[in-house]
Structure 1
Amino acid sequence: MQRIGVLVGMQSEARLARNLYPTAIEASGATMRGAEIALQRLLDTGVDKIVSFGFAAGLDPLIKPGTILLPHTIYVNNKDYVPDLTLRSQLGAEKSQVKIGALLHSDTIITSCAEKEILFQQTGCVAVDMESGIVAQYCEEHQIPFAVLRVVCDSANRDLPPVASLALSNDGHLNISKIIGSLLGNPDQVFDLIKLGADAAIAYWQLNSFVHKMSAFRFG
């Protein structure tokens, strides 16, 4: 029987993942070191496959918030990593609403439309996140099949407010004190934060709906 581990960046993503995989889930806090520690914890529990799960930022200007992604390639430091075909199929890669393409890994949060446009032109990747590349490299090193299930949160034409780079603590929870401090120092970003929150709500709802539909699949 398969034992699939899930890596997320945020605890809110972990709550969604439990609807699909009720067992081994770890949060990275959207940091490289956090991801490495979380992946080792997953490996220590005896998982034999790993899924990178949660939100991503759109790079393709045609992709809207709420688009489900099951990428066929993860692009990390000029190298392609290929997710496991069977695991992608189990996750719903053949579903009509799923976007297939390449996903870019970034070590930092991509906050501006201009930077997203440059990355799209340079790589052709449809979206970017901060965990999937680490998962891909880790799984290749440890010879573990992996796949990525993500949803677009902020589109390619959405600039992120500065507070977005401070929002998470190392355990994947919201860092309320830093969020409040940033908003007090720059209250104008409240409007952009509200727009981002609306996009995030759409993404959360779409991923939640997709996960519930796919939970009918039996693994193992």
Structure 2
Amino acid sequence: MPARLGIGVVTGTQADAALARALGLRVASCGGIAGRAEDLAEELVDEQGVVALVSFGLAAGLSPALPAAAVLVASGVMPEQGGRPLVTDDVWRTNLLRSLPQALTGLVLGVERPLLSAAEKGELFAATTAVAADAESLGVAEVAARRALPCVVLRAICDPADADMPPAAFAALLRQGEPSLTAALRRPRDLPALMRTVRQVRQARAALAAALPVLADCLPHRAVRAAPP
């Protein structure tokens, strides 16, 4: 489908990238490196000719109102250092929210480090208006703004605001897409948190897989017309 070929998707993990590739979307995965997301979005535009950009994958919850597996269609992305948020495409976002009635909306905070503690997430929620955070969305939104391309952020919460994530779980999440319980052999006290994180990651990815098929159908008509044949 031409519309799908015109969509460039940037993810944080290869597991999330595989979901998008299965639908024929053009995908790049940055391994959770914030600066790399911006570079990959530029490459999708310059080398693959995409006419719309998506930040897709997992996110940390900042708002206590977002449980694990909550689907978020972000209203915009704000830098942690402050400044005006970069808004997502109004038409594409509105179409997605209509097609995904269970989805929530709100600002995403662009961060360059893992948010592993509930205390830090709580501090960021109190200091900003963001409801979730990830490492890729800000770079993708910046490229879309420079290139005047429609952009949306489609994320699912794998790490709610009230949960601590063991460092080993985060490292495994970036490396293989899901935390490994073998990390508990080195730190048995982390086992309950690791088991919870594994469950929440699986729930979040299932929610993403269910939401993804409507992405291209919701693309604004102006982008569909510009999509590659």
TM-score w.r.t. structure 1 length? Answer: 0.86
Give the counterpart of 1:11 among 8, 11, 14.
14
Change (3 A) 1:123 1:175: closer
Amino acid at match of 2:28: E
In the TM superposition, 1:49-64 aligns within 5 A as: 49-64=52-67
Give the root-mean-square deviation of aligned CA atoms: 2.5
Give the residue type in structure 2 aligned to 1:131.
Answer: E
Change (3 A) 1:34 1:184: farther
Q: Does 1:217 align with 2:222?
A: no
Q: Distance in 2 between matches of 1:29 and 1:72?
A: 24
Structure 2 letter corresponding to 1:17? A
* Counterpart amino acid of residue 57 in structure 1: A
Q: Distance in 2 between matches of 1:206 and 1:64?
A: 12
The answer on whether the counterparts of 1:166 and 1:175 sit within 8 Å (CA) in structure 2 is no
Moved over 3 A (4+): 179-185
Runs of 5+ unmatched residues, structure 2: 225-229
Counterpart contact for 1:32–1:131, Cα < 8 Å: yes
Matches within 5 A, 1:163-178: 163-167=168-172, 173-174=175-176
User: Amino acid of the residue matched to residue 105 of structure 2?
Assistant: I
Q: 2:114 aligns with which of 83, 96, 109?
A: 109
Partner SS, residue 172 of structure 2: coil
Aligned with residue 26 of structure 2, among 14, 19, 24:
24
Please report how far the alpha carbon of residue 45 of structure 1 lies from its aligned counterpart in structure 2 after TM superposition: 0.6
Equivalent residue runs for 1:150-165 within 5 Å:
150-165=155-170
State the one-letter code of the partner of 1:198. R
Residues 21-78 of structure 1, C-alpha deviations (whole Å, 9 max, x = no match): 5131110110024313322321111011100001111111121111110111211131
Normalising by structure 2, what TM-score?
A: 0.83
Q: What SS is found at the alignment partner of 1:99?
A: coil
Which of 41, 44, 48 is matched with 1:39 structurally?
41
- In the alignment, the residues of structure 2 paired with residue 198 and residue 173 of structure 1 have an alpha-carbon distance, to the nearest angstrom, of 17
Q: Which string of whole-angstrom CA distances, capped at 9 and with x for unpartnered residues, describes residues 122-152 of structure 1?
A: 1121111110011111222232221101111
Question: Any gaps of 5 or more consecutive residues in structure 1?
Answer: none
